[in-house]
Structure 1
Amino acid sequence: MLDRIRGHRPSPSAPRDPEADAVLRQILATPSLAAQMLTAAADHLDKHKPTDELSVAGWARAFALADARVLTGYPQAVAQHAGRRAMRALRSDMWDSARTRGEWALCLRDIARSV
């Protein structure tokens, strides 16, 4: 059937490629680069002095390490987009209250699920 917007739709009886289906499932299950960055930053914060209060320098170091770990090898435009997307996912009210590195790690993991 021809749809002017979507083009031709395959018939329901069209043969499916199991290899292509497996690749598609793997792609859909992989977290976005922004989510991977947030998770990597959370991992760092959770491993290094999780009971200490997070400083600006500590946040910068965690984010820089996450950037290096996740985005190395990607083109600059892709890496910048992922970094900006990760930072935009943080809510402004998160910065208002003082939190430990461990609490920040929990928040970052929570946010990573929605990015």
Structure 2
Amino acid sequence: MKKVYVILLALTALFSCKSQEPTQFNEKALNDTFVTLNGENVTFQSILNKHKGKTIVIDIWASWCGDCIKGMPKVKALQENYKDAAYVFLSLDRGEDAWKKGIEKYNV
């Protein structure tokens, strides 16, 4: 039984040590349009281009999503510990008022 655990541990270590490759997005996703805090329409591609060469953390959230709200302190901790990364917050709220109130309420 001990040999099985050692083999499983070795396989886990082997497959978790592969080199990282950049994430690839399809054309439809790259052309999706988002509204910024300033009311400007931007594409996902332009967001990626703006932060090219940096690690980008994309947090998809909504003001009505309990799990999203629970996870916000962890994202804030990431921001404090990894200041060189770019943080992009994408809201799934249906209306502009809802996500703006959520940003204010939860200090995103």
TM-score (norm 2): 0.24
- Which structure's relative contact order is higher, taking Cα pairs within 8 Å and 6+ residues apart? 1
Greater fraction strand: 2
TM-score (norm 1): 0.23
Bigger Rg, which one: 1
Greater fraction helix: 1
